[in-house]
Structure 1
Amino acid sequence: MQLPVFVVDAFTGEAFRGNPAAVCLLENELDEETHQKIAREMNLSETAFIQKLHPSDNFTQSSRFGLRWFTPATEVPLCGHATLASSAVLFHKIKNVNQTVTFVTLSGELKARQAEDGIIMDLPLYPTQPKDVKEVQDLIKVALCNVRVQDVRYSPDTKKLLVRIDDSYGRSFLENLEVNASNLTKVENTGKVRGLILTLKGEGSGKPQGYDFYSRYFAPWVGVAEDPVTGSAHAVLSSYWSQQLGKKEMRAFQCSRRGGEMKVSLRDGGRIDITGQTALVLEGKLTI
């Protein structure tokens, strides 16, 4: 059997930047093991599987699809960049005729719509709560050594730990910070943390090339040492920084080696719009 497969760089308009995701189009259902084997073969942080919901559906005309995301190690409940990549394949490559498509996922229904400046995803917004530093001090020490920390929050919905680095540090410090992700799982193996967000206040999006906040994201607990640009982490970050900055519209940059940016807009009802660009870098057939 051959499956159409694409690799899309998400949260960037340039090839070889942003976050690459593999996207597979499924005419028929696959067993669980094959999903995981394909994701392991692709060896990207995420492989997305777009599935027809009904036999009569087709990828060009239909507006609702199933969507699942797999790292090389496991299935995950939400992945923003692979959702953006999946939307780009449908809109730009398959030429889906709809302005908006809906994905049925483990995180409920997610919508993506075409816009002049990219694709806008409608995702859940995940609030954070204060975290007792003593409970995670070993993890923070391994990640940051003696770097000053200004705030620590936790997202119970996503099991992501958010660590805000002191405002005295700048973007270049976060970009050059060396984190040995393999050591993180050695000090945190309780299952309470599934992702570590390091974040830093920006200079403000009102300035040329300015951003409201910066971040990096590490998830060795799900098989991803460092994720280049992470939509699901920004569903947590945006909740935090909106409260800190008193803003609902923000620009964010993730400071991985590849780097990527997005616009975020908080909406009523605990939702967030994340806008990003994409670049298609590979298409072919996967033989299984």
Structure 2
Amino acid sequence: MLRYFHIDAFAQAPFTGNPAGVCPLETPLPAALMQQLAAENNLAETAFIVPRAGTPAEYDIRWFTPAVEIDLCGHATLASAHVLFTHLNLAGTEVTFHSQSGPLRVTRESTSRLTLDFPSRPPQRLETPPATLAEALGAAPHAVLAARDLVAVFATEAEVAALRPDMAALAALDYTGIIATAPGTGEIDFVSRFFGPRVGVPEDPVTGSAHSTLIPFWATELGKPELRARQISARGGDLWCRLREGERVDISGYAVTYAVGELLVAFS
């Protein structure tokens, strides 16, 4: 049996934010089994965390969508820290996860908000965007950039909200995900949506890792390092963001527990 937690990340109430599965392990599982478990859970990502011997606040972490393992995931990292602090009695206010993308520190604030210390992945403008992008999204962005993900920049939040993309056409593009973004209004500096059909996630409700790219872009565009963001998926989610020196970003949000249980899977 495996302990299992279903956490709504970047959420302050159930049924909002992005659901993540979290499996705390004593020893690593085979990658093939973790992929099967993630496919069965059928959430955007399931995180598997294993403690490092002799270091009580350090864990190895891996993330799996229903289809593939990915190199960086924000919401499932936030969810994993929430599980450790809230359910597994981790002492202190910091935990470090070791991942494919290097060490990722998570800090718990006095308000219970969690802050991810993530790599900054600034996008580069594409002079020749994919020819099929506008048709695949259903509208033409006024600028296109790329890092791990492709970034389509629109003029208004309404344009991003109105997108009805062709998921098969987006999956044919050679990027992990497609981010659609625009300036926000009021206290929200920018909004986004994230499409990842290529990795088994048609639309991700709230994508922490996308903000490794969005934060440096919008900090430059808006001329300020601290930003409020909202992902305008059907579930929606709020993020507090900061561009730091040293090629890092802070991505903050809340998490709530939806379910706690066990996976009745035999393994050796």
C-alpha displacement of 1:148: 4.4
**Partners of 1:182 and 1:225 within 8 A in 2:** no
**Correspondence list, 1:62-211, <5 A:** 62-117=56-111, 118-133=113-128, 135-144=129-138, 147-155=139-147, 158=148, 160-165=149-154, 167=155, 169=156, 171-186=157-172, 188=173, 191=174, 193-203=175-185, 207=186, 210-211=187-188
Alignment correspondent of 1:219: 196
Aligned amino acid, residue 26 of structure 1: L
Number of residues paired by the alignment?
Answer: 264
Alignment correspondent of 2:34: 35
CA distances 1:220-266 after superposition (whole Å, capped 9, x unpaired): 11111110000000110111101100010000000100000100011
C-alpha displacement of 1:184: 1.5
**Partners of 1:152 and 1:164 within 8 A in 2:** yes
**Partners of 1:175 and 1:257 within 8 A in 2:** no
Aligned amino acid, residue 25 of structure 1: P
CA distance in 2, matches of 1:42, 1:236: 28
2:210 aligned counterpart, secondary structure: helix
Gaps of 5+ in 1: none
Picking from 237, 248, 255, the partner of 2:214 is: 237
TM-score, normalization by structure 1: 0.88
C-alpha displacement of 1:132: 2.1
C-alpha displacement of 1:149: 2.1
Aligned amino acid, residue 164 of structure 1: V
Give percent identity, aligned residues only.
39
How large is the RMSD of aligned CA atoms in angstroms?
1.4
CA distances 1:43-78 after superposition (whole Å, capped 9, x unpaired): 000000011222x66xxxx10010100001110000
**Partners of 1:264 and 1:274 within 8 A in 2:** yes
CA distances 1:11-34 after superposition (whole Å, capped 9, x unpaired): 111101000000001112211111
**Partners of 2:171 and 2:196 within 8 A in 1:** no
Gaps of 5+ in 2: none
TM-score, normalization by structure 2: 0.95
1:123 aligned counterpart, secondary structure: strand
